[in-house]
Amino acid sequence: MDTILVTGGAGFIGCNFVRMALRQTVSRVVVFDKLTYAGSLLNLKDVEHHPRYEFVRGDIADRRLVAEVLQGFRPTSIVHFAAETHVDRSIEGPRNFLDANVIGTFELLEAALAYYRGLGEKGRDFRFVHVSTDEVYGSLGPQGYFREDSHYAPNSPYAASKAAADHFVRAYFRTFNLPTLITNCSNNYGYYQFPEKLVPLMLLNAAAGRNLPIYGDGLNVRDWLFVEDHCAAVLAVLRYGKIGEKYNIGGGNELNNLQMLEALCSALDERLPAKENPALKARGLTSYLQLRVFVPDRPGHDRRYATDTSRIRNELGWRPACRFEDGIRRTVRWYLDNTAWCETVLAGRSGARPPFIPDNHQS
């Protein structure tokens, strides 16, 4: 049986990917995750008894543990999501981003290379897919799109750490022939996103009648993609992508933050009408948009991201399946139906299991 090792599989995109991989492939799926504040076993609760699912708690920067896991589970591919991901946190404390995203990816590459070399002929189909962001390309003006050959110009410490990781992954292909592929995706929204990121933060704040803080003038543009479409793209790259290649992924759905907030508030109003929400009534308000407050801009805030996705569309036949209006409605419904999840992960009480390595490992 094929085995996919998914780093960061207990985080937002990782857990959606794990679910999809268990549904759409016959592979065993082994999650390797440190369970930082952003990762939770609650995100994988519905698959914990799946016969093809395993979980190991660990840090990708722990090369010895990663080597043991590789020897123990003998994966046929690694899909690398694990990272520190919140731009605001990277401004407050960049060091963690260097440790997880740069050193972590380097140690993972070293362990993967040693393992791959040991596979010999059996390593023919081995793949290392590195999941990255379009933020590595920097900021666009009103026109134009990021292409795979756009130059790197990261502006936040988060983007710089992902850019450095991308370069290491590329170097391990060019120098050591590790069969790597890189994906650079635009902003995701959907289920299980830690409620510090724009979409869940605004949703939960609005539902509770709290202010909706908007950075600067709110006109920064992002290209939004439903998380399951991102996961389908990563699966397509894993199955059909060309070794050594990179693929941009995006929704073709540009919205500035004010427009995103309007879409969110209107989807929320359908499920939980503002006029009947006691939290708003208590503040004498009748519409969620009245909760908007403008706050000083984030330093280095990129103005616009937009991705040219013709390569993955033309070469791998991928395209987003979920319309933005549907994705936003589904996301709003999920957060309103899962308030206990929100409270638990925000309180940092999501629970953890110790590392588990099967006893057939060889080190």
Span of 53-61, 64-72, 203-211, 251-259 interacting with ligand NAD by CB under 6 A: 53-61
Confirm or reject binding of residue 332 to ligand NAD (CB under 6 A): no
Minimum gap (Å) between residue 231 Cβ and ligand NAD: 10
Phi-psi category of residue 192: left, alpha or beta, with phi > 0 → left and psi -120 to 50 → alpha: left
Strand 127-133 and strand 3-7: pairing? Answer: unpaired
Residue 186 or 277: which CB sits closer to ligand NAD? 186
Confirm or reject binding of residue 10 to ligand NAD (CB under 6 A): yes
Residue 159 or 274: which CB sits closer to ligand NAD? 159
Minimum gap (Å) between residue 236 Cβ and ligand NAD: 16
Residue 107 or 269: which CB sits closer to ligand NAD? 107
Confirm or reject binding of residue 236 to ligand NAD (CB under 6 A): no
The residue from 14, 179, 200, 251 that contacts ligand NAD (CB under 6 A) is 14
The residue from 4, 33, 41, 172 that contacts ligand NAD (CB under 6 A) is 33
Site string for ligand NAD, 156-195 (x = CB under 6 A): ------x----------------------x-xx-----x-
Span of 57-65, 167-175, 311-319, 347-355 interacting with ligand NAD by CB under 6 A: 57-65
Minimum gap (Å) between residue 230 Cβ and ligand NAD: 7
Minimum gap (Å) between residue 344 Cβ and ligand NAD: 15
The residue from 4, 5, 6, 13 that contacts ligand NAD (CB under 6 A) is 13
Minimum gap (Å) between residue 315 Cβ and ligand NAD: 20
Structure tokens belonging to residue 110 = 């070293």
The residue from 42, 44, 59, 66 that contacts ligand NAD (CB under 6 A) is 59
Active-site positions read: 134-135, 158
Confirm or reject binding of residue 202 to ligand NAD (CB under 6 A): no
The residue from 21, 66, 83, 140 that contacts ligand NAD (CB under 6 A) is 83
Confirm or reject binding of residue 100 to ligand NAD (CB under 6 A): yes
SS (H, E, C) the chain: CCEEEEECCCCHHHHHHHHHHHHHCCCEEEEEECCCCCCCHHHHHHHCCCCCEEEEECCCCCHHHHHHHHHHHCCCEEEECCCCCCHHHHHHCCHHHHHHHHHHHHHHHHHHHHHHHHHHHHHHHCEEEEEEEHHHHCCCCCCCCECCCCCCCCCCHHHHHHHHHHHHHHHHHHHHCCCEEEEEECCEECCCCCCCCHHHHHHHHHHCCCCEEEECCCCCEEECEEHHHHHHHHHHHHHHCCCCCEEEECCCCEEEHHHHHHHHHHHHHHHCCHHHCHHHHCCCCCCHHHHEEEECCCCCCCCECCECCHHHHHHHCCCCCCCHHHHHHHHHHHHHHCHHHHHHHHCCCCCCCCCCCCCCCCC
The residue from 5, 21, 61, 164 that contacts ligand NAD (CB under 6 A) is 61
d(CA 97, CA 91): 10
Minimum gap (Å) between residue 260 Cβ and ligand NAD: 13
Burial (Cβ within 10 Å: 0-12, 13-18, ≥19) of residue 226: buried
d(CA 119, CA 322): 39
Residue 209 or 300: which CB sits closer to ligand NAD? 300
Minimum gap (Å) between residue 278 Cβ and ligand NAD: 31
Residue 146 or 274: which CB sits closer to ligand NAD? 146
Angle at 350 between CA 46 and CA 86, to 5 degrees: 100
Q: Which residues here bind ligand NAD, judged by CB under 6 A?
A: 7-8, 10-14, 33-36, 38-39, 59-61, 81-85, 100, 104, 131, 133, 162, 185, 187-188, 194
